[in-house]
């Protein structure tokens, strides 16, 4: 079934959407509290130990082999999925095993281990509660940590009632009791156990596994043969490093410590049990030579990136997934099952960038996904959107009246949908006519000439340059009134749509040109100021990552959002009480503004002019640049549903107005809300106390 159809079906399941949003909102809240208890040092220690292990992976493989074999265990290196499946089957068959118990292992999903065992006549009993329910249902997990999160309690109870042959009430306590009773006997009798690993210490061959349910204690503790199937990237040097991985993984997953961490290896207390460690490559070492994808090997599989991904929350991992699921799942599937497999759902990612902010080991997930998308067959309409947005915006500057009329014509919108894939019902912006430069010239505002420390280069990006320059004029007036010398940037826009739609090559070319254009000013002491969060995201985050040059990093360090600049330069006091003072403003921080100083800066300025400000971490509003303008369930369909969920929460705050820095978020918010939606600069500029003389 196509991604469009699967998405359309998922969007019809309103109750599931509501439930998943609630679950991930709760998880994010508790995770945010818990992760604060870990120091930055601890997070960097884990990243460093993983990076250093990946640099000398071959050495670590040899080390673990020696350690395990010396202590009487076995290590088998499996190149691919088939190799790993056959090895497990052979080990179990040789030992005469007919039934095996398993703890949750997404790596075994990756290699389709259960199917192979069943065809070899070996019964598999999953012991993680959610995983067992999913197994009994014949489905597949929708989340790496909560495999059955997509199911309601009624659905779980029905699956168990049917499979266990006893009536199970649809209440979580009864469900858990039924599964415990059902699994106890199975677990105590099993001849063999299969586990995954959160980390493996190469020096001792110790496998570290985190669980909350405690099933690992049964899987490792009862059978006489224990097989661990783990990706080779789980190797780290030293037991302390392995324990730290477990600690960070759990804190980042739920904000809490897990209930259990089990450590086991080749040597067993007292009895002569057998231990086989199967180290799986399956694309991992090949990925190490990719400039972007290597990073996936740092992943500790905490699931934090899932919590904030609004497309994932909305359609669940059954659609946003294949063998893996969620944001990083796209990359795992790409390296382990191929780009085609990953691109079956990678296109649900609209590059909001929020998952990256959650990752405890700093994986640049959105850029990795963009890299995966770059290997897919390009849809012509998507290419048009990726490359044509800036062109259309420039055209709109010249032909505003004509295009504005056309946007209201059903016939034109139908043609636009057929040719460019722009949904005929999606909100499109009205062109103001002309350009920002033209508007400034007509107000007799020209570029300041003597560039120096007090100069700012205003980078308006495509929207403010050509579609609606109102915010740009207000920003330039504000800056000049406060004594800055202002130069208006000329050059290409950031081309964010290109990055979104997998065009990392174009992004790299554009970022070179933009860096070249800005550098001469920055080198003379000027700073770059933006009013669109996507512009600051590209200049500060994406371009330095894409180019990696000292010049791009210099630009990144010199780029500020307008609010950040004003607060940093101590200019808050230049603003007085606004006409809006006393009103309740909901501040919608666009995705690309999150994780920066923008949020605190804007909030303090809005409060300074007398607004009462409320904001919530709701994530992307669904517009995501041009994403919400695309036709079809994956475009406007998904965008509207996310917009509905987000604005429902905003409405619950009962704001008098909404303030946001993003022009495209404004389009979406106006579509769903009936209060005014203003750009920050439109609130601040009228409250300026002084004017430049």
324 vs 392, beta carbon nearer ligand SF4: 324
CB 486 within 8 A of CB 447: yes
- Distance of alpha carbon 399 from the chain centroid: 38
CB 366 within 8 A of CB 401: no
d(CA 620, CA 354): 8
Query: And the tokens for 404?
Result: 């504005």
The gap between the terminal CA atoms of the chain, to the nearest Å, is 66
79 vs 180, beta carbon nearer other proteins: 180
Q: Does 96 bind other proteins (CB under 8 A)?
A: no
267 vs 394, beta carbon nearer other proteins: 267
328 interface partner picked from ligand SF4, other proteins, none, CB below 5 to 8 A per type: ligand SF4
SS3 annotation, 438-467: HHHHHCCCCCCCCCCCCEEEEECHHHHHHH
Query: How many residues bind to other proteins according to rule CB under 8 A?
Result: 67
213 interface partner picked from ligand SF4, other proteins, none, CB below 5 to 8 A per type: other proteins
Q: What is the phi/psi pair of residue 392, to 5°?
A: -65, -40
Beta-ladder partners of 559: 528
Side-chain half-sphere exposure of 563, counting CA atoms within 13 A: 27
Q: Given the rule CB under 8 A, which of 121-129, 373-381, 444-452, 566-574 is the region that contacts other proteins?
A: 121-129
Residue 226 CB, nearest approach to other proteins (Å): 9
DSSP letter at 635 equals I
Query: And the tokens for 473?
Result: 């004029």
Q: Does 184 bind other proteins (CB under 8 A)?
A: yes
SS3 annotation, 521-574: HHHCCCEEEECCHHHHHHHHHHHHHHHCCHHHHHHHHCEEEHHHHHHHCCCHHH
What one-character-per-residue DSSP string does 190-214 give? -SEEEE--SEEETTTTEEEEEESS-
Query: And the tokens for 683?
Result: 């609130």
Binding other proteins by CB under 8 A: which of 44, 152, 442, 446?
152
Q: Given the rule CB under 8 A, which of 200-208, 413-421, 563-571, 666-674 is the region that contacts other proteins?
A: 200-208
Residue 407 CB, nearest approach to ligand SF4 (Å): 27
d(CA 536, CA 204): 47
156 vs 355, beta carbon nearer ligand SF4: 355
Q: Given the rule CB under 8 A, which of 196-204, 449-457, 569-577, 600-608 is the region that contacts other proteins?
A: 196-204
Query: And the tokens for 634?
Result: 């994956």
For residue 674, count other CB atoms closer than 10 A to its CB: 6
460 interface partner picked from other proteins, ligand SF4, none, CB below 5 to 8 A per type: none
Provide the binding-site residues for ligand SF4, judged by CB under 6 A.
252, 299-305, 308-309, 311-312, 327-328, 349-355, 358-361, 363, 365-366, 369
Q: Restricting to residues 274-333, which ones interact with other proteins according to CB under 8 A?
A: none
Q: Restricting to residues 247-276, which ones interact with other proteins according to CB under 8 A?
A: 247, 256-265, 267-271
358 interface partner picked from ligand SF4, other proteins, none, CB below 5 to 8 A per type: ligand SF4
271 interface partner picked from ligand SF4, other proteins, none, CB below 5 to 8 A per type: other proteins
312 vs 489, beta carbon nearer ligand SF4: 312
Q: Given the rule CB under 8 A, which of 148-156, 368-376, 555-563, 616-624 is the region that contacts other proteins?
A: 148-156
CB 84 within 8 A of CB 282: yes
133 vs 367, beta carbon nearer ligand SF4: 367
243 interface partner picked from other proteins, ligand SF4, none, CB below 5 to 8 A per type: other proteins
Q: Given the rule CB under 8 A, which of 141-149, 283-291, 430-438, 465-473 is the region that contacts other proteins?
A: 141-149
309 interface partner picked from other proteins, ligand SF4, none, CB below 5 to 8 A per type: ligand SF4
28 vs 413, beta carbon nearer other proteins: 28
d(CA 64, CA 293): 25
DSSP letter at 675 equals S
Binding other proteins by CB under 8 A: which of 220, 382, 451, 482?
220
CB 207 within 8 A of CB 228: yes
Q: Which of 330, 434, 430 is nearest to 374 (CA)?
A: 330
CB 662 within 8 A of CB 593: yes
Q: Which residues bind other proteins (CB under 8 A)?
A: 19, 22-23, 26-27, 37, 71, 127-130, 133, 146-149, 151-153, 156, 172-173, 175-177, 179-181, 183-185, 187-188, 201, 203-204, 206, 212-215, 217-218, 220-222, 238-240, 243-244, 247, 256-265, 267-271
């Amino acid at each position: 079934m196509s991604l469009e159809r699967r998405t359309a079906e998922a969007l019809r399941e309103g109750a599931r959407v509501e439930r998943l949003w609630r679950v991930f909102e709760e998880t994010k809240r508790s995770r945010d509290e818990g992760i604060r208890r870990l120091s930055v040092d601890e997070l960097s220690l884990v990243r460093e130990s993983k990076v250093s292990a990946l640099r000398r992976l071959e050495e670590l493989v040899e080390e673990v082999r020696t350690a395990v074999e010396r202590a009487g265990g076995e290590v088998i290196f499996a190149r691919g999925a088939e190799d790993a499946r056959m090895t497990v089957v052979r080990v179990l068959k040789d030992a005469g095993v007919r039934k095996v118990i398993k703890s949750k292992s997404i790596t075994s999903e990756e290699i389709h281990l259960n199917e192979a065992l069943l065809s070899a006549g070996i019964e598999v009993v999953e012991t993680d509660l959610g995983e067992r329910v999913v197994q009994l249902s014949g489905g597949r997990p929708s989340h790496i940590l909560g495999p059955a999160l997509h199911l309601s309690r009624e659905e779980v109870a029905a699956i168990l009632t049917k499979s266990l042959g006893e009536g199970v009430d649809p209440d979580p306590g009864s469900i858990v009791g039924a599964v415990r009773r059902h699994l106890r006997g199975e677990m105590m009798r099993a001849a063999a156990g299969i586990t995954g690993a959160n980390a493996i210490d190469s020096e001792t061959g110790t496998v570290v596994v985190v669980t909350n349910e405690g099933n690992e204690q049964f899987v490792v503790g009862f059978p006489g043969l224990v097989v661990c199937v783990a990706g080779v990237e789980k190797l780290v040097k030293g037991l302390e490093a392995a324990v730290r991985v477990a600690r960070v993984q759990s804190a980042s997953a739920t904000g809490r410590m897990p209930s259990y961490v089990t450590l086991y290896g080749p040597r067993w207390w007292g009895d002569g049990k057998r231990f086989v460690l199967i180290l799986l490559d399956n694309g991992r070492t090949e990925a190490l030579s990719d400039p972007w994808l290597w990073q996936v090997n740092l992943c500790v599989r905490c699931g934090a990136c899932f919590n904030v991904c609004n497309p994932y929350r909305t359609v669940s991992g059954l659609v946003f997934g294949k063998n893996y699921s969620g944001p990083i799942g796209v990359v795992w599937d790409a390296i382990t099952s191929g780009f085609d497999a990953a691109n079956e759902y990678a296109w649900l990612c609209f590059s909001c960038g929020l998952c990256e902010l959650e990752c405890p080991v700093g994986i640049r997930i959105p850029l990795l996904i963009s890299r995966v998308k770059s290997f897919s067959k390009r849809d012509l309409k998507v290419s048009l959107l990726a490359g044509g947005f800036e062109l259309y915006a420039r055209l709109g500057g010249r032909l505003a009246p004509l295009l504005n009329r056309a946007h209201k014509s059903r016939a034109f919108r139908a043609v636009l949908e057929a040719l460019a894939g722009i949904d005929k019902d999606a909100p499109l912006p009205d062109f103001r006519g002309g350009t920002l430069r033209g508007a400034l010239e007509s107000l007799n505002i020209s570029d300041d000439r003597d560039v120096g420390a007090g100069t700012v280069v205003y980078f308006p990006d495509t929207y403010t340059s050509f579609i609606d320059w109102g915010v740009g004029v207000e920003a330039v007036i504000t800056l000049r009134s406060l004594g800055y010398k202002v130069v208006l940037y000329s050059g290409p826009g950031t081309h964010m749509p290109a990055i979104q739609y997998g065009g990392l090559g174009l992004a790299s070319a554009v970022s070179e040109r933009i860096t070249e254009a800005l550098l001469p000013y920055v080198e003379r002491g000027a700073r770059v100021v933006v009013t669109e969060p996507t512009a600051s995201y590209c200049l500060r985050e994406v371009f330095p990552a894409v180019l990696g040059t000292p010049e791009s990093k210099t630009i990144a360090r010199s780029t500020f959002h307008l609010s950040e600049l004003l607060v940093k330069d101590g200019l808050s006091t230049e603003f007085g009480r606004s006409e809006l003072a006393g009103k309740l403003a909901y501040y919608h921080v666009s995705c690309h503004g999150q994780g920066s100083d923008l949020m605190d800066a804007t909030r303090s300025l809005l409060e300074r002019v007398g607004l009462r400000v409320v904001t919530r971490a709701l994530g992307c509003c669904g517009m995501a640049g041009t994403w919400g303008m695309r036709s079809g369930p994956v475009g406007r369909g998904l965008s509207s549903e996310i917009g509905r969920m987000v604005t429902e929460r905003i409405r619950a705050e009962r704001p008098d107005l909404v303030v946001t820095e993003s022009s495209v978020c404004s389009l979406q918010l106006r579509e769903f809300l009936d209060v005014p939606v203003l750009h920050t600069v439109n609130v601040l500029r009228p409250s300026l106390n002084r004017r430049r003389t």
